[in-house]
């Protein structure tokens, strides 16, 4: 029984190492790895929920498409406008 556990752990470690290496080899961010042009994100609701760290992108310039690491970008926030000051009551 111990042999089975040891073999299972080594297999799981291999899977984890391969997954980490593949993740680190993927290009990062919205720029195309070939022409450095900004790529368009291809949305898939199922994949976005299943693997939120990755996204599929397509380059309009050279036609490259593939999976890239998603980069968290600060969302452009619209500054909260305070309501216009009321005129003073008379």
| Positions that interact with Zn ion (CB under 5 A) | 32, 34-35, 37, 59, 61-62, 64
Nearer CB in complex with Zn ion: 59/70: 59
Tell me how far apart the 2 most distant CA atoms of the chain are, in Å. 88
Q: How far apart are CA 64 and CA 44, in angstroms?
A: 18
Report yes or no: 55 and 46 within 8 Å, Cβ to Cβ: no
The residue (of 14 and 34) whose beta carbon lies closer to Zn ion is 34
10 or 63, CB closer to Zn ion?
A: 63
Give the shortest CB-29-to-Zn ion separation in angstroms.
13
């Amino acid at each position: 029984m111990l042999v089975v556990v040891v073999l299972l752990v080594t297999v799981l470690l291999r899977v984890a190492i391969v997954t980490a290496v593949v993740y680190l080899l993927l290009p990062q961010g919205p720029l195309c790895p070939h022409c450095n042009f900004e790529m368009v994100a291809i949305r898939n609701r199922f994949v976005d929920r299943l693997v939120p760290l990755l996204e599929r992108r397509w380059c309009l310039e050279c036609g490259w498409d593939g999976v890239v690491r998603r980069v968290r970008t600060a969302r452009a926030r619209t500054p909260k406008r305070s309501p216009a000051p009321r005129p003073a009551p008379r």
